[in-house]
Structures are given as structure tokens and as C-alpha cells.
Amino acid sequence: MNAAILLSGGVGTRITSDIPKQYIRVNGHMMVTVSLRTLWMAPQVDAVCVVAAPAWQEEIKNDAISGEQTGEKPLWFAEPGKNRQLSIWNGLQRVLRERGSLSKDPASAPDTVFVHDAARPYLSQTLIDACFAALPGHDGVLPVLPMKDTVYESRDGRTITRLLDRSCIFAGQAPELFLLDKYVAANQALLPDRILAINGSTEPAILAGMDIAMIPGDEKNSKVTTDADLKKYRSANESERSRR
């Protein structure tokens, strides 16, 4: 079983909007729905769990099934936690509860969980393919981008402490792919308090000593964080619509 967790519980305080950014509609569909439909259509994904506040869950479902293409796969929901990683934890608990409903050949590959963020609506099937292709022999996969700028460390936030070797530094992206049971154990080991300090989905895996393979990320797979990002997203959708 390959389950996907789609995080959609944030509030997006850096974007000027009356509603969280992932629920803003562009060309008639919410941002979260774009990634949801991509995951639904991915042949590797057996089910999708969206982590979202109850007030939005029905609208997400209705918006997802109103498109030209929808998946014939289970859609589950979980509620957001106190931080991003606890939202993932809630999604993991829902996946564990539902895993028995999806038949699995005992001789098949281990169960996996694919974690993505609704604020990254540019998710492509090509990147999904690359994640699953890189997983055999590892406990997880993380797409990364190399650092293009010179990178410095500052201990006090005011002066430069030292220059870092940018050839050894990478920026992680979502989506991330993990062996399900190992990733659940890695997160459980951080409960109840240490998990509150986690910022990235792969951090628990690294802390638990899981073997995480890096693959080239996608420059286009950017995150919608600011008003400028949202404007770019709107423009990209308008361009795509005009080409149809």
C-alpha cells in the first residue's frame, strides 16, 4: 500500500487573504485540489489522506470530484495538529487505521507514505515517478535543490561567523517518501514534546537514523508563501488556460 498524506491545515499568514491560501480558487479550483488530483491520478498512489480542518473537508472533496479527471481511489481526512509534524502524525494515524481496507499481496513491497504540502501546487507525475524509482534499498527519498548562493553562518544574527561549503548544503523540498512503519516509529519516538520542535518532514527520519536518499528536486515545484508567489501561481494558471 502506498498512501499519500496531503497537508492542508496551515493558515498562511504571509498572504493577504481572508481564507488560508490553499483554499483560494484559481480557474475555479482550490489550490489544494490541484495537488490532490495529481496524487489521485498517480498510478503509484493507492489512497490519499488530506489533513484539513473539518470545516473545509467537504468542500475539498466536492471540489476534487468536480474536475474533468478524478481518481477511483479512497479519500480520507484527518484533522490538523498543533504544528506541521503533528498534522503529519494525525495523517499517519488515519493511514494506519485504514491500511487494512486496502488489499496487499504479502510478497509485494513494504507499505509507504508519500508526504506533500498543498502549498506546493506544482507537483508533477515526473517527480512522483522519481521518488518511487529511488526508494528501493533506502528507507526514504527526499528531493533537494543545490544551493546557488554563497552561504554563511552567523551565531548572533548580526555578524558573519564562518563561510559554509555550499557544495555540501541542499534545500529540501516536498514531496517526501518514506517506508511507512519506520517513519511511524521515527515520529512516535519524538512524542509528546520533541515533535513540537520539528520543522521538516524528513527531520524525524534523520533523527531516527533512517537511510534517506536524495534525488534532484524540481525548480518549478516551488511553494506559494507570499503574495508574490500567489500572483505567480495565478499567472501560470492563466497561461496554461490560454494554451488549451
Distance CA 11, CA 205 (A): 26
Task: Report the CATH number of the 2-243 domain.
Answer: 3.90.550.10
Cis peptide before 192 (omega within 30 of 0): yes
Looking at residues 130-143, what average pLDDT do you find? Answer: 98
Average pLDDT score over residue span 124-134? 98
Question: Is the pLDDT confidence value at 69 over 80?
Answer: no
Q: What is the pLDDT of residues 148-178, one digit of tens each?
A: 999 999 999 999 999 999 999 999 999 999 9
Give the pLDDT score at 236: 85
Could you report the per-residue pLDDT of 99-109, keeping only the tens digit for each? 988 766 655 77
pLDDT of residue 240: 59
What pLDDT is stored for residue 70 in this prediction?
Answer: 52
Tell me, what's the pLDDT at 239?
Answer: 59
pLDDT in tens, 179-237: 999 999 999 999 999 999 999 999 999 999 999 999 999 999 999 999 999 999 998 88
The distance of Cα 153 from the centroid of its chain, to the nearest Å, equals 28
For residues 107-134, give the mean pLDDT.
94
Residue 23's nearest CA partner among 68, 77, 15 is 15
**pLDDT, position 103:** 61
Whole-model pTM: value is: 0.92
Query: Which residue blocks in the chain are alpha helix, DSSP H?
Result: 31-41, 54-65, 84-98, 125-134, 180-188, 203-207, 227-243
Which residue ranges make up each domain of the chain?
A: 2-243
Decide if 151 contacts 161 (C-beta within 8 A): no
| pLDDT band, very low/low/confident/very high, at 21 (cuts 50, 70, 90) | very high
pLDDT for 55: 95
